[in-house]
Amino acid sequence: MQLIIITDMDGCFLDFNTYSYEDSVEALNRAVKEAAVISFCTGKCLAEIKVYNKELKLKFPFIAENGSIICVPHDFFDFDFEYQRETEKYKIIELNVKHDETIKALHNIRKKLDFEFRIFSEMSPEEINEYCGLPIESVKHAKMKEYDDAVRIVDETPEKVNLFKQAVAEEGFSYTKGGKFHILIKGSDKGKAAGILLELYKKKYGSIVSIGLGDSLNDLPMLEEVDSAFLVARPDGSRVDIGNSKAKRVNEIGPKGWSEVVNEALEKVKKESHFVKE
């Protein structure tokens, strides 16, 4: 049985404040060594994820921009599947509208609302760094969005958030919330994309067991698609309202919680002696 790990990045695999994977990389390397498949399912865009994949030497499919696209390395699957475009390294399944349409909707929303919000792709590198701590050298990749976008509501209040949600719906888009930004998407979410990717994995491996890890509202649809779902803790102790979600809360924060879950999953698979090593 093939172990599939589908995971968020910021605040989960990566530290919420520093974006470091120092506390999770050992568990990741162990998982790869033991032939687990690790697919990022993140709000990060293709340009950002390519940097991490190169650093971590990962060559698995991944989901970018909150379910907007599934990126599959050439020759990863030995069967045909539907995809919309190709790059030098990936076959890309597109599930969301293009960024131009998302920006147009955000500009329409700005005209309707009487309070200020900042659009991520239009923020300066310095503003992004100051607000969320993302290193300046990483911002140039983060701003290369092709589908979704995110906003920071200035002097945010619950009333402003509700008005923003209403305006998003009026534009025909869906709202979700990441760790630090409010997100606008149309056509897909992390759950839809994860479901499609898991079906491809089933076709490749036959029998699979899947776990999912996240920390925010936008992760909940993805966590509903996996066999076992986990929400790691946040540094400030805040908790996402998971409603009827099957996700289990992890007491450890971010990468440490991530490592705990992954190591336990690897041990469980090993004990059950169903793990298929290639």
CATH number at residue 65: 3.40.50.1000
Minimal CA–CA distance to 10: which of 234, 242, 239, 250?
234
- Phi-psi sector, 239: left (phi>0), alpha (psi -120 to 50), beta: beta
pLDDT in tens, 112-161: 999 999 999 999 999 999 999 999 989 999 999 999 999 999 999 999 99
Cα 108 to chain centroid, rounded: 26
pTM, two decimal places = 0.94
Q: What is the DSSP string of 17-32?
A: TT---TTTHHHHHHHH
CATH number of the domain that 140 lies in?
3.30.980.20
Identity of the amino acid at 266? L
Q: Provide the annotated active-site residues.
A: 8
- Asked if residue 18 has pLDDT above 60, the reply is yes
Mean pLDDT of all residues in 17-45: 97
For residues 197 and 153, give the distance between their C-alpha atoms in angstroms, rounded to a whole number. 33
The pLDDT value recorded for residue 273 is 53
Sort 54 into a burial class: Cβ within 10 Å, 0-12 / 13-18 / 19+: exposed
Residue 135 lies in a domain: yes
The C-alpha atoms of residue 32 and residue 208 are separated, in whole angstroms, by 16
**Which residue, of 185, 201, 226, is where some domain finishes?**
185
Specify the residue for token string 């986990």: 230
Same-domain status, 171 and 107: yes
Tell me, yes or no, whether 277 lies in a domain. Answer: no
- In this structure, the answer to whether residues 36 and 49 fall within a common structural domain is yes
- Last residue of a domain, which of 163, 185, 207? 185
Residue numbers of the domain that contains 180: 99-185
For the record, the structure tokens of 146 come out as 């092709």
278 within domain boundaries: no
Query: Given 185, 220, 242, which residue is the final one in a domain?
Result: 185
HSE-CB at 246 with a 13 A cutoff on CA atoms is 11
Residues 7 and 78 occupy one common structural domain: yes
Same domain, residue pair 114 and 65: no
Does any domain span residue 111?
yes
Is the model's pLDDT at 274 over the cut of 50?
no
Domain count, the chain: 2
